[in-house]
Amino acid sequence: MLEIKNLCVGTDKKDLLQNINITVKDGARHRLAGHNGSGKSTLVNTIAGDSDYHIKSGQIFFNGTNITNENATTRALMGIFIGAQNVPEIPGLSVLSFLKHSMIAHTHFNTGKDLSMGEFLEKLENAREQLNIPKEWLNRSVNVGFSGGERKRIMLLRLILTQPKLAILDEPDSGADAETKQQIIDTINNMPNTTFLFISHQDDFSSKIKITETTILDNGKIVIE
C-alpha cells in the first residue's frame, strides 16, 4: 500500500527526517511511536503532501505509483486521507457543503461519474446516524466552535464517507472523550478495506486496535529494536 524509500525531509537549515524506510502493507494497522519531536507528525504530513515539508531525497510510493512529487489534492483523490491534530477553522463553509464537494470530487476522480445529491444525502445520513452526530452540526461552519472531541467526530464522518485506501491519523485519541475515543476505535476496526497508519502515545487506545506493526522514531530516524 505504502512504501517509503530513503526519505530525507527538512528545511534549508535543518534536517527533520533522515533515511526513512517504511513499508505499510495493504490492510495494516501500522502504529508510529516515539516521543514528542521525534518526527512522527513530520512524516505523516510529508506522506499527505504538505508543502511545508521539503523532500530532499528519497521516494514515496502509493499503490505502486511514485507520488513523491504529487500535490496534496492529487494524493487525497488517489485515496490518502489525513486526520490531522490541528485542523483549520473555515468560517462561512458549512460542514454539509464541505462534505458534499469532497464526495463529488472523490466520486468523479475514481469513477468518472457525477454523484447525485440523493446518493450523497443517503450516505451522509447513514454515516451521521452511525456516529450519533446531531443534524444541526452539518449547518455549522467547518470546525468553528467545535470542541476537540466534536472535531474528531466530524473527522470520522469524513473518513466513513470517503472510504480511503490509506487513512493517516495523527493522534486521533488526543483530546477525545471516552465516547468519541470508542467511536474512533470502532470505526478503525470496522473498516477492513482501509489501511491505517496512525500516531498514538496511549497504549490503552492502541491495544484496542489490532496493530500489525509498530515503527518507532527518534530524532528523525527509525529506531531499530
Q: 189-222 b/e with 16+ CB inside 10 Å = b?
A: eeeeebbbbbbbeeeebbebbeeeeebbbeebbb
**Could you give the CA distance from residue 219 to residue 15 in angstroms, rounded to a whole number?**
10
Give how many domains the chain has, as a whole number. Answer: 1
| CATH of residue 33 | 3.40.50.300
**Dmax (CA) of the chain:** 52
The answer to whether residues 215 and 222 touch, using CB atoms and an 8 Å cutoff, is yes
**Within its chain, how far is the Cα of 209 from the centroid?**
16
Residue range of the domain that includes 53 = 2-222
User: In whole angstroms, what is the distance from residue 190 CA to residue 60 CA?
Assistant: 27
Kindly report, residue by residue over 103-156, the tens digit of the pLDDT.
Answer: 999 888 888 888 888 989 999 999 999 999 999 999 999 999 998 888 989 999
Average pLDDT for runs of 10 along the chain of length 225 = 94 87 93 89 91 92 94 92 86 93 89 88 92 93 89 92 92 83 90 91 81 91 79
Total-model pTM: 0.88
